[in-house]
Structure 1
Amino acid sequence: MLPKKASTNQLSLFFSFADTLNQKHPLYVLAQQINWSIFEQAFEPLYSSTNGRPAKPIRLMVGLLMLKHIRNLSDESVVEQWSENIYYQYFCGATSFVPGYPCEASELVHFRKRIGEKGIELILQESIRVNGQDSQDEQVSVDTTVQEKNITFPTDAKLHQKIIKRCQAIAKQEQVVLRQSYEQTLKQLKRAQRFRNHPKNKKRARKADKKIKTIAGRLVRELERKLPVGSVYQKDLQLYKQVLAQERHSKGKIYSLHEVDVCCISKGKEHQPYEFGNKVSIVLTDSGVIVGAMGFRNEYDGHTLRPALEQVKRLVGKLPKQAKVDRGYRGEKNVEGTEILLPSPPDKTQSYYQKRKLSRLHRKRAGIEAVIGHLKTDYRLKRNFYKGIVGDNINIMLAAAAFNFKRLMNHYKVSFCLFLQRLFYSLQRLLWVKNKFKYTF
C-alpha cells in the first residue's frame, strides 16, 4: 500500500534540520541536488492504493540504497547508522531527529526486488544528471572487469559434501528413513581428504573424494525413489544429479548450489587466473563520470560493446563520437556512428601530430583502470552479495551511481576549499597592503 505523505506544515517547535545542520556538508548539498520527485512518480504504480500495510516513504528507501553504496555498508549497518547520523536522516527526507531504526534491514531486499533493474537504472540516470556537463563528453573509455559472487572457491569435493548435507536435511524435513546415515564413514573420509598436497597423502585423498561422490549419488537416488513424484524437492535433486555428472571439461558447469548462474571467467591475471562471478562493462567519460554500467555472463569483450553504448544512449540521450577501448575489443570499428579507437602500431601515412594525438588518447583510456579499482574497493563491486542474475545487474548499477554521487560530493568539497583558500589569500594581501601603507606614511 502507498505510504501516507508526511505533513510538513507543523514542524518541530525547537529543532529542525534545515535550520541547524551545516549547509556546506556534502550530504546536505547532494540532497538538494537530487530530484527526488522522479523516484516517487516512477515507483508509486508499484504499490497498491488500497490493500496492505502502509509502506515506508519512497525517498527513505531510495536514500538508504544510495547511502549503502556511497558509504560501503551492509543493509544492517546502513539501517543502524541512519538512527545515529542526522545527515543520513536529512538525506532520506526526515525533517527532525528520529531516535529509532527507519525500517528492518530485510525491507531493503524487498524494495530492490520491487523496483527491479529499471528502477536501479533510474537511480544511475539521476546520478549522471547531477554531474551536469561532465556527462556530455564526446569521448568515452570502455573496459570490462569481473564482479565476483559471494561463493567459496568451487571444488568437486566441496560440492559433493554440500549435496550430502542437503540430502540429509531433506530426509529429516520429509521424515524419510535413509538406509544408512554415513555419519562415521564421512568423518573418516573428511580426515583422509586433509593435506592432499603432501606426496604421501595424494592417493588417499583421491580415494576419499571418489567415495564421497559415490555416497552423494546413493543419497540422491534413494530420495528420488522415496519422495513422491510431485515433491517440491525434485528440482533440487535434478540439480544434484547434474553436479554429480559433470566432469572437468563439461560445458555449462555448476560451481555453486545456491548460485547456479555463476561463470568461471579468465582475465589473464597471473595472481588470479580464474574468477567466479559475471562480467561487467563500464563506460567512463573523459571528465570522470560513469555513463554506462552493465552486467554480462561471459561474453567476448567485443560483443559487450554494442549493448553498453545502447545503455549510454538510453541514459544520456546521445551516443559519444569516440570510444577508446583496449585490444580485447578487436572486431568493432564503428557502432551506430561511434568511432571505436583500438590501440595499434602507427600508420606510415599519419603525421607526427596524429600519432601523438592517438597516443595521448590511449594513455588517457588507462584512467578507467583506476576507476574500476575504486568501484571494487569503495563501492561494493568487489564481491556481490545479491541473489541471481538480477542481483548482479543491480549491484553493478548501484556501485556506478554511488561513484557518480561521491564524485559530486568531492567536487563540491574541493570547490569550497578553493574558495576558502582564495579568501584567505585575499585577506592576507589586504593586510600586507595595509601594513605597507602604514609604514610608508
Structure 2
Amino acid sequence: MKIQRISELQHEFSFLSATENFDAFYTRFLKSDLGKIYLAIPWKSLVEAFQIKEKAFGSKMIFSPKGRIALMFLKHYTCSSDRKLIEQLNSNIDYQFFCDIHLGFSRITNFKIVSQIRCELAEKLKIDALEKSLYKHWRPHIENKNQITVDATCYESELRYPTPQKLLWEAVDWLYRQLKKICKVLGLKMMRTKYIKWKKRYFGFSKMRRKTNKKRKPLTRALLHLLNKLIGFEKELRTSYKLECRVAYFRRVATIKKVYAQQQQYFETGVSPKNRIVSIAKSYLRPIVRGKEVKSVEFGAKVNKLQIDGISFIEHLNFNAFNEGTRLKKTIYKAQSLTKIKQK
C-alpha cells in the first residue's frame, strides 16, 4: 500500500455519491476484529430483550435501537470516556458501521447522548433474560456445556484512594461552593468561615510524604467542625427561603450529612462505620476486601460469576460485600437455567 503525506497529496473533488464504495468498506469492516464481534452478537434478540423501539411520532433519534445497544458495547471496547467515544465515532467509519449509523460529512457534537442512552438501557436491563438470549445464540459453538468454573471478582470503579481527610475536604469544598452560589442568587452575605485557612492547610497536608497522626487529627477535627457549620447554614437557608434546587443537589447534601455522621463517629470511637461512604459523587460504592497482594481493598461492584467454555455469565452482582461461598447452589441453578433452554 502506498502511503502519501498530506502535504504532498494532490487534491481531487469527487462528484460521485457519498455511498459509492459502501459495500467495499462494509466488507472490510466485517473482516476486522470489531466486525467479528459485530457478527457474534444477536442484535435482534437483544433489542427484543430491552424492549426499545423507534419513536412513533416526531423526529427520529440519531441512533436506532440496535445502534444504542451497540454504542454501549463500543464504549467498553474502546475503554474511553463519553467525549472521547463520540470523537472517535465521528472519525472512524468502522465504529459507525458497528453502531448502525453513517454520518457522512456531519458530526455528533453532543457527547452527553452516551450518558442518556446508558441511563435508558439501565432502566430496562434484565440481566437474566439478556444472558439467555446471548447463550441461545452462542449455544451451537459451545462444546463443554456440562463444565462450569465459578469465581468472584470486583468490577472496579475509577476512584482515588479514600481517606477521611480527602472525603471531608471534598464535602466541605463542594458544599461551600454551592452555598456561595445560592447566597449570590438570594443577595445574601456568605457566612464567615475559615475556609481559605483550612484550604491552605489541607493542600499543605496533602503534599506531605509522611502524614503522621499528629498532623491528621487536628486537620480532621477542623474539617468536621467546618462541615458541621456549613450543613447548619444550608439547613437555615433551606427552611427560611424554601430553596428550589435540582434533585441531584438534595441527594448530594443528604450524602454529605451521612458522611459527616459517619466520620464524626469514626473520629471519636475509632470504629469503622457500617456501610461506609467513600465518595460523595458515588455514594453507592463500598470497600470490598479482596486480600490480594497488590490491592487488599477494591472499590466497585462485587460479582459472583460462572464460566461456561470461556464465556462468563453474572450470577450475582452487588456493591456491598458478600460471601460467594454460600452461593454455590444458586450458581448451579443459574447454569442449569442457561444450558437447558427450550428450543422453539
Q: State the TM-score bracket (shorter-chain normalisation).
A: 0.7 to 0.9
With the length of structure 2 as denominator, give the TM-score of the two structures. Answer: 0.74
2:231 to 208, 220, 232: 220
Q: 1:148 aligns with which of 138, 153, 156?
A: 156
Alignment match, 2:7: none
Say if 2:217 is the partner of 1:210: no
Contact 1:312 1:318 in 2 (8 A): no
| Matched residue, 2:314 | 292
Inter-CA distance 191–257: structure 2 relative to 1 (3 Å threshold) = closer
Question: Which 4+ stretches in 1 moved above 6 angstroms?
Answer: none
Inter-CA distance 298–52: structure 2 relative to 1 (3 Å threshold): farther
Answer yes or no: is 1:115 the counterpart of 2:121.
Answer: yes
1:269 is displaced (CA, Å) by 1.6
Aligned-residue offset at 1:241 = 2.8
Which amino acid in the other structure matches residue 268 of structure 1? Answer: G
- Work out the CA distance in 2 between the residues paired with 1:242 and 1:48: 41
- CA separation in 2, counterparts of 1:307 and 1:103? 46
1:281 paired with 2:304, answer: yes
The residue type equivalent to 2:277 in the other structure is I
CA 1:187–1:102 in structure 2 vs 1: closer, same or farther (change >3 Å)? closer
Quote the Cα distance in structure 2 between the aligned partners of 1:172 and 1:66: 41
Aligned equivalents of 1:45, 1:54: Cα separation in 2: 12
Shift in alpha-carbon separation, 1:177–1:73, aligned structure 2, 3 A: same
Please tell me the residue identity of whatever aligns with 1:290: S
Amino acid at match of 2:193: S
Q: How does 1:36-435 map to 2 (within 5 A)?
A: 36-43=43-50, 45=52, 48-51=55-58, 54-94=61-101, 98-101=104-107, 104-116=110-122, 118-119=124-125, 121=127, 124-128=131-135, 129-130=137-138, 132-134=140-142, 137-175=145-183, 176-190=188-202, 193-194=205-206, 198=210, 202-228=213-239, 231=243, 232=245, 235-246=251-262, 247=266, 248-285=271-308, 287-292=309-314, 294-296=316-318, 297-313=320-336, 315-317=338-340
1:299 is displaced (CA, Å) by 1.0
**Cα distance change, pair 20–194 in 1 and its aligned pair in 2 (3 A):** closer
Specify whether residues 113 and 308 from structure 1 end up closer, same or farther in structure 2 by C-alpha distance, changes over 3 A only. Answer: farther
Q: Is the 8 A contact 2:42 2:134 kept in 1?
A: no
Q: How far apart, CA to CA, are the structure 1 residues paired with 2:230 and 2:109?
A: 43
8 A Cα contact 1:40 1:58, kept in partner: yes
Assess if the C-alpha contact under 8 Å between 1:89 and 1:97 holds in 2.
yes
> Against the structure 1 CA distance between its residues 107 and 164, is the aligned structure 2 distance closer, same or farther, given a 3 Å change threshold?
same
CA RMSD, aligned part only? 3.4
The structure-2 alpha-carbon separation of the partners of 1:179 and 1:112, relative to structure 1 and needing over 3 Å to count, comes to closer
> 1:387 — aligned with what?
none
TM-score by length of 1: 0.59
Retained in 2: the 8 A contact 1:76–1:105? yes
Rounded to whole Å, the distance in 2 between the matches of 1:40 and 1:198 is 54
Displacement of 1:298 in angstroms is 0.9
Give the Cα–Cα distance (whole angstroms) in 2 for the partners of residues 314 and 76 of structure 1: 39
Distance 1:100 1:169, change over 3 A: same
Compute the displacement of 1:173 (Å): 2.5
| 3-state SS, counterpart of residue 212 of structure 1 | helix
Cα distance, 1:263 vs structure 2: 1.2
Cα 1:87–1:244 change in 2 (3 A) is: closer
1:107 deviation in Å? 1.5
* Distance across 2 between alignment mates of 1:29 and 1:155: 44
Contact 1:145 1:281 in 2 (8 A): yes
CA distances 1:146-205 after superposition (whole Å, capped 9, x unpaired): 122222211111122122212212222221533313244214532563566649x64244
Residue type of the alignment partner of 2:121:
I
| Equivalent residue letter for 2:167 | L
Q: Do the aligned residues in 1 keep the contact of 2:26 with 2:97 (CA within 8 Å)? A: no
Any gaps of 5 or more consecutive residues in structure 1?
1-10, 320-441
> Hey, what's the Cα distance between the residues in 1 that align with 2:111 and 2:126?
18
Give the Cα–Cα distance (whole angstroms) in 1 for the partners of residues 175 and 204 of structure 2: 22
SS in 1 for 2:190: coil
Pair 1:312–1:196, CA change in 2 (3 A) = same
Counterpart of 2:11 in structure 1 is none
User: Which amino acid is the alignment partner of residue 274 of structure 1?
Assistant: V
Q: Structure 1 residues 118, 222: closer, same or farther in 2, change over 3 A?
A: closer
1:253 counterpart SS class: coil
- Tell me the distance in 2 between the aligned counterparts of 1:78 and 1:302: 38
SS in 2 for 1:76: helix
1:270-304 deviation line (CA, Å, top 9, x unaligned): 3322222221122112x212233642221111244
Distance 1:212 1:102, change over 3 A: closer
CA–CA separation in structure 2 for the residues paired with 1:33 and 1:235: 41
Structure 1: distance between partners of 2:317 and 2:150 = 13
SS in 2 for 1:208: helix
Q: Which residue of 2 aligns with 1:394?
A: none
